[in-house]
């Protein structure tokens, strides 16, 4: 594992990290994963405490931070979407200074990227982005670890993302691919393509790492040679219910089906940050079914439940990678 000193650093978006630093974090996570499997204790941050701010709901990210912090020997305080003063009675700048005086690190999940950036600006302890509208960096580290476990290396891997490509997951996969030399294709209706300025930044980075960024509206082109088929929900947290009809209309052609996956490479796998609408086992899934007649949305149940699907390995890797982020930035 190449040495990188990340002590004191925030993790706000992967654009702020070098390929070497990303590599280091994922190697560290793999090491923590092995240690966890062997029941080797790693509680090198005993006595420290972290604050976990969630202005949006979460299963994986919250549990990953809590379990990882506990494994490292730390205490956690969870601030839910309604139970604190944040944003309503207290500014982000004031919140940052209060929490930084009590905690050793702060996780933030919420809305605009500018909020987590502001939090970090006023915090003297590391701030970790647990998802904003624009970026989801801890998800990307888990995805990279998963891709390495499946393929041995990410170099030259063709990753195709289908769906709403201008939100946190699509943006972040493009940055991840650019930083790590993958060939990322974002496949969607043009109005869901990422911000052209971010595409340009990523293409410049990709030119140095041997990766590439392609945008296409054609699902067959998106599927061609794809090693990873990746999708995300069509309507993200914080978006209004009114957009469902338009999204269903616009994004149904980009659903990941077995037919689509069969057009990719022989070794193709399916990835999804989760949660996923692949059956009627959710309240929203059932409501959409009743209103629009759909049984599945961004991915078919056949793909989700198939042996090509690595989504639960990917979900587990959230915990190991978040542990690496906290350990590295807190100087464990
Ligand atoms: N993938 C992800 O961030 O899941 P949660 O919303 O459950 O944290
Ligand atoms: N794009 C999704 C990701 C969830 C992990 C959302 O923001 O809701």
Of all protein residues, the one whose alpha carbon is nearest to atom 7 of ligand 1 is: 59
pLDDT of residue 325: 98
Q: Is the CB of 59 under 6 A from ligand 1?
A: yes
Extract the tokens encoding 55.
């202005």
CA within 13 Å, CB half, 246: 10
Q: Is the CB of 106 under 6 A from ligand 1?
A: no
Q: Is the pTM of this model over 0.85?
A: yes
pLDDT of residue 305: 98
pLDDT of residue 27: 98
pLDDT of residue 84: 86
CA of 276 to the centre of ligand 2 (A): 10
CA within 13 Å, CB half, 149: 21
CA of 207 to the centre of ligand 1 (A): 31
- Atom number in ligand 2 closest to CA 167: 1
How far is residue 23 from each of residues 3, 64, 144, 153, 203, measured CA to CA in Å?
10, 20, 9, 11, 20
Quick check: is 139 catalytic? yes
Residue 265's SS3 state is coil
pLDDT of residue 1: 62
Residue 173 and residue 161 in contact, taking contact as beta carbons nearer than 8 Å: yes
- Atom number in ligand 1 closest to CA 138: 3
CA of 153 to the centre of ligand 1 (A): 25
CA of 58 to the centre of ligand 1 (A): 5
pLDDT of residue 45: 98
- Residues with C-beta less than 6 Å from any ligand 2 atom: 131, 167-169, 232-233, 236-237, 273
How far is residue 47 from each of residues 42, 203, 277, measured CA to CA in Å?
13, 43, 40
CA of 245 to the centre of ligand 1 (A): 24
Of all protein residues, the one whose alpha carbon is nearest to atom 4 of ligand 1 is: 60
pLDDT of residue 103: 98
Helix 19-37 × helix 311-329 angle, to 10°: 110
- Atom number in ligand 1 closest to CA 59: 7
Quick check: is 273 catalytic? yes
Quick check: is 39 catalytic? no
Residue 215's SS3 state is strand
Reading the chain (332 residues) residue by residue, the pLDDT tens digits are 668 999 999 999 999 999 999 999 999 999 999 999 999 999 999 999 999 999 999 999 999 999 999 999 999 999 998 888 888 899 999 999 999 999 999 999 999 999 999 999 999 999 999 999 999 999 999 999 999 999 999 999 999 999 999 999 999 999 999 999 999 999 999 999 999 999 999 999 999 999 999 999 999 999 999 999 999 999 999 999 999 999 999 999 999 999 999 999 999 999 999 999 999 999 999 999 999 999 999 999 999 999 999 999 999 999 999 999 999 999 98
Extract the tokens encoding 19.
């390929």
Quick check: is 62 catalytic? no
Q: Is the CB of 61 under 6 A from ligand 1?
A: yes
- Atom number in ligand 1 closest to CA 131: 3
pLDDT of residue 3: 82
pLDDT in tens, 268-321: 999 999 999 999 999 999 999 999 999 999 999 999 999 999 999 999 999 999
């Amino acid at each position: 594992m190449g040495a990188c000193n990340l002590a004191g650093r925030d993790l706000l978006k992967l654009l702020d990290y070098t390929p070497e630093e990303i590599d280091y974090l994922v190697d560290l996570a793999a090491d923590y994963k092995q240690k966890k499997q062997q029941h080797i204790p790693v509680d090198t941050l005993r006595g420290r405490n972290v604050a976990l701010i969630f202005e949006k709901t979460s299963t994986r990210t919250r549990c990953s931070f809590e379990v990882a912090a506990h494994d490292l020997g730390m205490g956690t305080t969870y601030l839910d979407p309604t139970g604190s003063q944040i944003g309503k009675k207290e500014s982000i700048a004031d919140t940052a200074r209060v929490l930084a005086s009590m905690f050793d690190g702060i996780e933030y999940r919420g809305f605009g990227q500018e909020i987590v950036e502001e939090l970090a600006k006023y915090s003297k302890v590391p701030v970790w982005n647990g998802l904003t509208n624009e970026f989801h960096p801890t998800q990307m580290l888990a995805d990279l670890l998963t891709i390495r476990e499946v393929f041995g290396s990410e170099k030259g891997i063709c990753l195709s993302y289908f769906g709403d490509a201008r939100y946190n997951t699509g943006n972040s996969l493009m940055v991840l691919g650019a930083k790590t030399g993958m060939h990322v294709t974002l496949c969607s209706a043009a109005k869901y393509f990422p911000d052209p300025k971010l595409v340009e930044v990523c293409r410049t980075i990709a030119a140095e790492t041997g990766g590439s960024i392609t945008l296409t509206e054609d699902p067959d082109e998106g599927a061609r040679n794809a090693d990873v088929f990746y999708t995300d929900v069509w309507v993200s947290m914080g978006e209004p219910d009114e957009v469902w009809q338009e999204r269903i209309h616009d994004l149904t052609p980009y659903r990941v089906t077995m037919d689509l996956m069969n057009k990719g490479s022989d070794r193709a796998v399916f990835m999804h940050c989760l949660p996923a609408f692949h059956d009627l086992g959710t309240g929203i899934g059932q409501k959409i079914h009743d209103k629009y007649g759909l049984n599945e949305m961004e991915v078919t149940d056949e793909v989700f439940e198939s042996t090509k699907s690595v989504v639960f390995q990917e979900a587990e890797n959230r915990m190991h990678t978040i542990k690496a982020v906290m350990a590295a930035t807190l100087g464990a």
